[in-house]
Amino acid sequence: MFDKLDFIVDKYDALSAQASDPDVIANQPVWQKIVKEMGELEPVVTTYREYNGNRDALRETKDLIEDGGLDADEKEMFKSELSDLEKKQSELDEKLRTLLLPKDPNDEKNVILEIRAGTGGEEAGLFGGDLLRMYMRYAERRGWKTEMMELNDTGLGGIKEAIIMIRGRGAYSRLKYESGVHRVQRVPETEAGGRVHTSAATVAVLPEIDDVEVEIDPADVRVDVFRSSGNGGQSVNTTDSAVRLTHVPTGIVVSCQDEKSQIKNKDKAFKVLRARLYDAKLQEQNKEVSEARKSMVGSGDRSERIRTYNFPQGRVSDHRIGLTLYKLPAFMDGDLDEVINGLILADQAEKMMVTT
């Protein structure tokens, strides 16, 4: 581990020297690439330097205690300081091991989040609408921006399908654990007998993919235009602004009608298509990974029931990490960090077990 850390520090120092070179500064694309790479290495370098400084302080404190020459009070004081330094060293060691874990290359990307009503009829659609508002509130709490890509509502406050873009640093790193089946238990408003019903909605979290990462042959895509339906302003039902893309080799179909402009709808639809093609490739690769190395927390299995929202008891339970919170109203208002932090820690723990 320490050979790797020394290599990272040397690389960071070399990049820092390059970033200060006037010739490199003049070449902004190269300079920006160097600065970006430094930014990725900086947390490791900073922590490692703190680790080394704390290690030196540990040695000096031990030497003072062992050399003698201290009265009883001084010795007790340095022993207390030694205990604090040892605790800090242990914490820094664990932090370094976490920082050295393999990074998901998509972690810093924006997110395309898809919600679809599952089993449960109209109640499933209403729950899908609740999930949509929950994620939009979470994005608002973190200062991320949201953009509606596609919305197919039920007309009664629920949704059949919704696709939103969430833009913000590290959005995928936190939301990628949300993919899967979300189950709700509650009494529907239409239920006169007060019986608790169970329904579900599915969530898929996809990273936004650049053109260069997934190249789409235009000949493979059939583009159809049609008139928008539902809310959307004066142009609805008067112009062929809605767009449907069909990727012939895979059969993936993407529709977008949220914008009044056909060009904008086409651009949004291609963003979703690229993300779905990338995800399909990723899912295929994951199938080839041995079960011993596959993280259940971060697998993104669309068919896996990951969470239950029980409204009568006011609780939310994440089944992957066995965490139950009795704060459902706050959770539905976007207060998701306690669960997401738990999922991140569990995922890191599994990866550390694999790498050791």
Q: What is the pLDDT of residues 44-98, one digit of tens each?
A: 899 999 999 999 999 998 988 888 777 888 888 888 999 999 999 999 988 888 7
DSSP-based three-state secondary structure for 310: strand
Residue 341, token pair as written in the block: 């932090």
Residues 6+ apart with CB under 8 A from 272: 112, 149, 150, 163, 254, 256
**Mean pLDDT estimate for the chain:** 85
Q: What is the pTM of this model?
A: 0.68
Residues paired with residue 315 on neighbouring β-strands, in sequence order: 310
Residues paired with residue 201 on neighbouring β-strands, in sequence order: 117, 182
Cα dihedral value 259, 265, 271, 272, nearest 10? 80
Dihedral sign of CA atoms 36, 341, 295, 165 in order = negative
Would the pLDDT of 127 be above 90?
A: yes
Burial classification of residue 234, based on how many CB atoms lie within 10 Å of its CB (0-12 exposed, 13-18 middle, 19 or more buried): exposed
Can you tell me the mean pLDDT for 221-247? 71
CB 130 within 8 A of CB 332: yes
- The pLDDT score that the predictor gives to residue 167 is 94
First CA to last CA distance, the chain: 11
Residues paired with residue 182 on neighbouring β-strands, in sequence order: 201, 307
C-alpha to C-alpha distances, 65 to 55, 69, 85, 288, nearest whole angstrom: 16, 8, 14, 56
Greater confidence, 137 or 268? Answer: 137
DSSP H or E run through 148: strand 145-153
Half-sphere exposure (Cβ direction) of 340: Cα atoms closer than 13 Å: 18
Q: Cα 47 to the chain's mean position, in Å? A: 24
Would the pLDDT of 286 be above 80?
A: no
Query: In degrees rounded to 5, what are phi and psi of residue 212?
Result: -70, -20
Residues 6+ apart with CB under 8 A from 208: 109, 110, 111, 112, 165, 271, 275
Describe the crossing of helices 72-99 and 28-67 by its angle, rounded to 10 degrees. 150
Can you tell me the mean pLDDT for 149-161? 86
Highest mean pLDDT of the ranges 3-7, 111-115, 233-237, 256-260: 111-115
